């Protein structure tokens, strides 16, 4: 009688584990295609349960899984329009290098947030979900978690605090200024982050605008047009401080510069 009870208990435990899902036995690579040689999109941790992607099909030995994102990707600056949108068909890579693996190509009206700049590369937070593939059964080959090399602090930007932020963004105390609507521009207002600086220098020719926004590497990202701020006398207190700027971007007269019409200015 005892062996029978033990067998029943073992069977019940097995069924419960099957119903509840035991999770992955080890850290597992998620590929962009059902091939071990394809790009690895991300890794699922040991014990994590993959989310099936019902609309996708996978060959034997593979499982299609849903990846909600966001994903950190990089695009060449030449693949950004003057309104800072990603051109459809542009390669979105996993690192700011021409030979870096391509995670996906940009679609029409791609939902991606600019989060940094790396010379001729722009860092993006890709918002749309993706479908990945993991090996299953006897063909599964769990791998150790990746150890990505750390990028120097002067050339990296952590995830933004909120969508639509350019550059790096860390939590800060917002300073109440004035939100003046869409500024009369046809482009979509966005939020950018960087260091607020003055362009005025003694005995030097005056720049087109008195203020500019620098990225983390100290390069000028855009001139700032602050004429729409009602409290312009307070602008000087932001000089050399990290800020969040909400406004619209437009190309300068020569097409080489970006000008942001500032609607709201906040300390980060």
pLDDT band at 14 (very low <50, low <70, confident <90, very high): very low
pLDDT band at 22 (very low <50, low <70, confident <90, very high): low
Rounding to the nearest 10 degrees, give the CA dihedral for residues 8, 14, 16, 22.
Answer: 160
More confident residue, 193 or 234: 193
- 54-105, pLDDT tens digit by residue? 888 889 999 999 998 889 999 998 898 877 889 999 999 999 899 999 999 9
**Phi first, then psi: what are they for 238, rounded to 5°?**
-90, -5
* Mean pLDDT across the chain: 74
Q: Is the pLDDT of residue 163 over 60?
A: no
pLDDT, position 137: 67
pLDDT, position 231: 60
- DSSP-derived letter for residue 149 is P
Q: Tell me which residue has tokens 């619209």.
A: 248
Rounding to the nearest 10 degrees, give the CA dihedral for residues 239, 242, 245, 250.
Answer: 80
pLDDT, position 233: 54
Q: Is the pLDDT of residue 112 over 90?
A: no
Average pLDDT (227-238) is: 73
Least confident of 30-34, 47-51, 96-100, 176-180: 176-180
Q: Is the pLDDT of residue 42 over 50?
A: yes
pLDDT, position 33: 92
Q: Is the pLDDT of residue 183 over 60?
A: no
- 199-209, pLDDT tens digit by residue? 988 887 888 89
d(CA 196, CA 105): 33
pLDDT, position 92: 95
Least confident of 30-44, 77-91, 136-150, 175-189: 175-189
Secondary structure class of 17 (helix, strand, coil):
helix
pLDDT band at 106 (very low <50, low <70, confident <90, very high): very high
- 153-162, pLDDT tens digit by residue? 333 333 333 4
CB contact set of 173 (below 8 Å; sequence gap of 6+): 267
pLDDT band at 140 (very low <50, low <70, confident <90, very high): low
- DSSP-derived letter for residue 55 is T
More confident residue, 76 or 176: 76
Total-model pTM: 0.51
pLDDT, position 181: 37
Least confident of 32-41, 84-93, 110-119: 110-119
pLDDT, position 206: 81
Pairing label, strands 220-225, 258-267: parallel
């Amino acid at each position: 009688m005892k062996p029978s009870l033990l067998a029943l208990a073992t069977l019940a435990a097995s069924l419960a584990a099957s119903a509840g899902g035991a999770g992955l036995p080890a850290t597992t690579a998620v590929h962009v295609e059902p091939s071990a040689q394809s790009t690895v999109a991300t890794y699922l941790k040991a014990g994590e349960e993959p989310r099936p992607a019902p609309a996708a099909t996978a060959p034997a030995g593979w499982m299609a899984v849903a990846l909600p994102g966001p994903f950190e990707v990089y695009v060449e600056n030449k693949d950004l329009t003057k309104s800072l949108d990603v051109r459809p068909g542009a390669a979105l890579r996993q690192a700011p290098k021409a030979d870096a693996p391509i995670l996906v190509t940009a679609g029409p009206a791609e939902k991606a947030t600019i989060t940094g700049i790396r010379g001729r590369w722009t860092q993006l937070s890709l918002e749309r979900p993706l479908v990945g593939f993991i090996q299953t059964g006897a063909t599964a080959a769990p791998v150790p978690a990746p150890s990505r090399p750390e990028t120097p602090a002067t050339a990296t930007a952590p995830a933004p605090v909120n969508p639509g932020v350019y550059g790096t963004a860390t939590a800060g105390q917002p300073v109440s200024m004035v939100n003046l609507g869409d500024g009369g521009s046809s482009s979509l207002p966005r939020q950018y982050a960087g260091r607020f600086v003055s362009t005025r220098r003694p005995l030097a020719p005056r720049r087109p605008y008195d203020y500019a926004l620098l990225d983390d590497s100290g390069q000028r990202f855009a001139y700032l047009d602050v004429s729409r701020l009602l409290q312009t006398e307070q602008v000087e207190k932001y000089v050399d401080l990290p800020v969040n700027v909400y406004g619209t971007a437009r190309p300068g007269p020569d097409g080489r510069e970006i000008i942001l019409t500032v609607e709201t200015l906040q300390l980060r």
